[in-house]
Amino acid sequence: MSALLSVRDLRVGFATEGGLLQAVDGVSFDLAAGEVLAIVGESGSGKSVTAQTILGLTRSPNARIEGSARLDETDLLAADDETMRTTRGDRVAMVFQDPMTSFNPVYRIGAQIGEAIRAHRRDVSRKEARERAVELLDSVGISDAARRVDSYPHEFSGGMRQRAMIAMALALEPEVLIADEPTTALDVTVQAQILQLIEQLNRERGLATILITHDLGVVAETADRVLVMYAGRVVEEGTLEEIFYDPQHPYTWGLLGSLTRLDRERPERLPQIGGAPPSLLDLPAGCSFRPRCSYAFDRCGELPSLDARLPDAPGHLDRCWLDLETKRERRPT
């Protein structure tokens, strides 16, 4: 599979009063057409900044952005503002976390979808854009779309708004869809519906999808490949099976351990990862996870590189000094 989107050594820093905040530090990945890549991590792990930087949404005088993000031949990090504008929405679309606040409250849903279409297709009339909006709303499962197209965002429920958001993202048939915590603000039954919708669109349209989430349950349902991020760095990368059945990094173990499982006896308390993520302004030397890691040893004072450490899985990368035997022996199952 050749990559549609290829991110190489992405670094994003923000100048703050407390110094340079390195939000993303050396992230690389490839995304092929039709693939769902999940980026997993806690708040502040850099997953959203990574996604927004690809779209040029983090550009500002205070931002230091390095590396490359090639979409076919275009490097989105180096592209000028007009190239980015025409790329956003048309080739790479984004769905955000909170559907309650992501629509402008003063315009009708249909008008906002139409605005996205007409921003890229100047020859489309208002009327045609509206008709297209009806089709789109219908295709994401909003019933009575012909009437609902004239509703205001506050007249939609959270799930409907997220559907409408996805409809808007699909308006121009983009090649890449970035979904930033698309289900976090929704209740569980609606979450499942939205994930099904994303999966279905991904399968039907061959849409390359980046799914950003902190919820491994969401990942298990949809992803092909998983990138685990911690404090701005990728700590583990592999296929869905590799991450779930042969996780290599203690942080991933912690994430997996904190999932509730219906097929096991219920523990007294849900396991959690002790401590809190480090401040990005004051990262510990070496492995950033070291202070919270119960397997840390001397060598962890030195930052491990992201390498393939498994002989039989060259695509499975991790950043941990523990040797394979120790890992398999000591990790919780």
Identify any residues that bridge with 289 across adjacent strands, giving them in sequence order.
none
Over its C-alpha atoms, the chain yields an Rg (Å, rounded) of: 21
Q: How far is the CB of 320 from other proteins (least distance, A)?
A: 35
294-317 burial code (b ≥16 CB/10 A, e <16): ebbeeebeebbebeebbeeeeebb
Identity of the amino acid at 105:
P
Residue 5 as a binder of other proteins (CB under 8 A): the answer is no
Parallel, antiparallel or unpaired: strands 3-16 and 63-71:
antiparallel
Query: Cβ(291)–Cβ(284) under 8 Å?
Result: yes
Identify any residues that bridge with 6 across adjacent strands, giving them in sequence order.
30, 70
Interface with other proteins (CB under 8 A), residue from 37, 44, 50, 103: 103
Backbone torsions φ then ψ of 110, nearest 5 degrees:
-60, -40
Interface with other proteins (CB under 8 A), residue from 64, 154, 261, 328: 154
Distance between CA atoms of residues 257 and 255, nearest Å: 5
Q: Please identify, using beta-carbon distances, which residue of 177 and 256 lies nearer to other proteins.
A: 177
Q: Please identify, using beta-carbon distances, which residue of 152 and 244 lies nearer to other proteins.
A: 152
Distance between CA atoms of residues 320 and 233, nearest Å: 12
Q: How far is the CB of 280 from other proteins (least distance, A)?
A: 20
Interaction pattern, residues 54-93, with other proteins; x per rule: CB under 8 A: -x-x-----------------------x---xxxxxx--x
Residue 101 as a binder of other proteins (CB under 8 A): the answer is yes
Cα–Cα distances (Å) from 8 to 3, 54, 66, 76, 176, in that order, read 12, 11, 9, 11, 17
Q: How far is the CB of 18 from other proteins (least distance, A)?
A: 19
Cα–Cα distances (Å) from 293 to 267, 277, 299, in that order, read 21, 11, 13
Q: Please identify, using beta-carbon distances, which residue of 94 and 231 lies nearer to other proteins.
A: 94
Give the binding range for other proteins (CB under 8 A) out of 8-16, 113-121, 258-266, 325-333: 113-121
Q: Please identify, using beta-carbon distances, which residue of 50 and 102 lies nearer to other proteins.
A: 102
Query: Cβ(10)–Cβ(66) under 8 Å?
Result: yes
Give the binding range for other proteins (CB under 8 A) out of 164-172, 186-194, 226-234, 263-271: 164-172
Residue 205 as a binder of other proteins (CB under 8 A): the answer is no
Q: How far is the CB of 47 from other proteins (least distance, A)?
A: 16
Binding site for other proteins (CB under 8 A): 55, 57, 81, 85-90, 93-94, 96, 98, 101-106, 115-116, 119-120, 152, 154, 165, 168-169, 171
